[in-house]
Amino acid sequence: MSKKRSSTTRKRSSASPRAKRILGLLTTVVVALFGAYYLLKGSTPLEVLTQIGWLPTSGPPPALAAAPATDTVLATAPAGAPSDTWWEVYFTDPHSHGSPDQPAGSIEEKLIQRIQQAQRSIHIAAFEFNLTPVAEALSAAQARGVEVQWVTDDEHGLEADGDEGHGQFALLKKAGIEVKDDGRSALMHNKFLIFDDEIVWTGATNITVNGIFANNNNVIVISSPAVAQIYEREFDEMWGGQFGSTSPSTVGQQTATVNGVSVQVLFAAEDDVISRLVPLIEGAQKSIRFMAFSFTHDDLGQAVLARAQAGVEVQGIFETRGSETKESEMRALYCANIPVRQDTNPTAFHHKVFVVDDALVITGSFNFSDNADTSNDENVVIVTEAGIAAEYLKEFEQRWAESVDPQAGDMNC
């Protein structure tokens, strides 16, 4: 074939200018006729070029293969600047960031940046709080006219703040920021912030020294007024004193489409979260990966076990403390020869994450337990986006490498 092309080239180079013009005209007419024929048959322009031999018959044409990708660019912590895309995912890095006094690259720094950028409102539902730089940033926001409001847990929030004037909530109150608690035995366990009715910050990360600088944790940030509205409605209910199962469910209004991606939000206890997560696990076709601070709910555990027995690849990491109790799902999975491990973080492995089929991500404040499902105030985000899933899977692989297999003698299979 190369010899024929070489011969043709030499022959054309010796042709007269008139012959070149005639040959060019004939080529144009032939290509146009063939192109019209194939287009009338329903072929695309690329298919026409392929069928008349101008492009290879398999694989993308070279020009298209070299085109820049159009997937969403992700900004992840601890490295990277804030992104202008609709989502970001951050993970704590206990190995690299050990102090709120040196927050560069940490989730604390990302949070303070968000606070400083707020123009109208910051509404917070967060379980506990002890980061003074964040309190100072919120106080400054309040001083420049941003409405700052905080709903917290009574025991782990306001009551843990210490004597009046000495804790971070006290700093907020001095700045004129109103703080309310749930005033009940169950937990107000959310960790979400809403900025300017447009951006939602949520995940497993408490706004504390341990939460950001010692525990394994995650944050997902979604820029969407529609998603923000869902969280604002829940915030308003708690601000008005409705907590737990007494809070009305609006689950039929808790799905939004962001850049073509469906984002569903669930709130405990009113939305019967476990009953909505089980079908997602039962729908797994290829793989299930989970990272769990607490995984004690039998229905969810049985769903994972059933998919593993059906041939779905399952791997899971448990927070070590509590994982060997009779309530934990680890023993049932381990004794069924499903790969599960225990974390080695000396403080806490605090994730509450499932990744299904390398695409669907379940994350939030919700531990996989009966208390989370029936008593606490919690939130869950469910999103099917390959880029988000890839980042959570990267975190899973890093934590899996640090984790250890349970001791067989402790499992009593």
Identify whether residues 164 and 52 lie together within a single domain: no
Q: Is the pLDDT of residue 65 over 70?
A: no
Identify whether residues 237 and 292 lie together within a single domain: yes
Per-residue tokens: 263? 């984002």
With respect to residue 12, please indicate whether it lies within any of the assigned structural domains.
Answer: no
Distance CA 147, CA 137 (A): 13
Identify whether residues 211 and 278 lie together within a single domain: yes
Identify whether residues 24 and 159 lie together within a single domain: no
With respect to residue 194, please indicate whether it lies within any of the assigned structural domains.
Answer: yes
Identify whether residues 297 and 209 lie together within a single domain: yes
Give the CATH number, domain containing residue 348: 3.30.870.10
With respect to residue 2, please indicate whether it lies within any of the assigned structural domains.
Answer: no
Pick from 32-46, 126-140, 285-299, 398-412: least confident:
32-46
Identify whether residues 55 and 143 lie together within a single domain: no
Identify whether residues 358 and 267 lie together within a single domain: yes
pTM of the model: 0.80
With respect to residue 344, please indicate whether it lies within any of the assigned structural domains.
Answer: yes
Cβ–Cβ under 8 Å, residues 247 and 272: no
Identify whether residues 237 and 200 lie together within a single domain: yes
Domain hosting 27: range is 17-62
Question: Each residue of 262-303: pLDDT tens digit?
Answer: 999 999 999 999 999 999 999 999 999 999 999 999 999 999
The predicted model gives 96-125 an average pLDDT of: 90
With respect to residue 220, please indicate whether it lies within any of the assigned structural domains.
Answer: yes
HSE (CB half, 13 Å, CA atoms) of 247? 30
For 195-251, the DSSP string reads ETTTEEEEES--BSHHHHHTSB-EEEEEE-HHHHHHHHHHHHHHHTT--GGGSPP-G
The catalytic residue positions are 350, 352, 357
Identify whether residues 58 and 85 lie together within a single domain: no
- R_g (Cα) of the chain, nearest Å: 28
Alpha carbon separation from 7 to 1, 21, 23, 191 (Å, rounded): 10, 20, 16, 73
For the chain, the domain total comes to: 2
Query: Residues 93-118, buried b or exposed e (16+ Cβ, 10 A)?
Result: bbeebeebeebeebbbbbbbebbeeb
Per-residue tokens: 135? 């309190």
With respect to residue 347, please indicate whether it lies within any of the assigned structural domains.
Answer: yes
Identify whether residues 21 and 80 lie together within a single domain: no
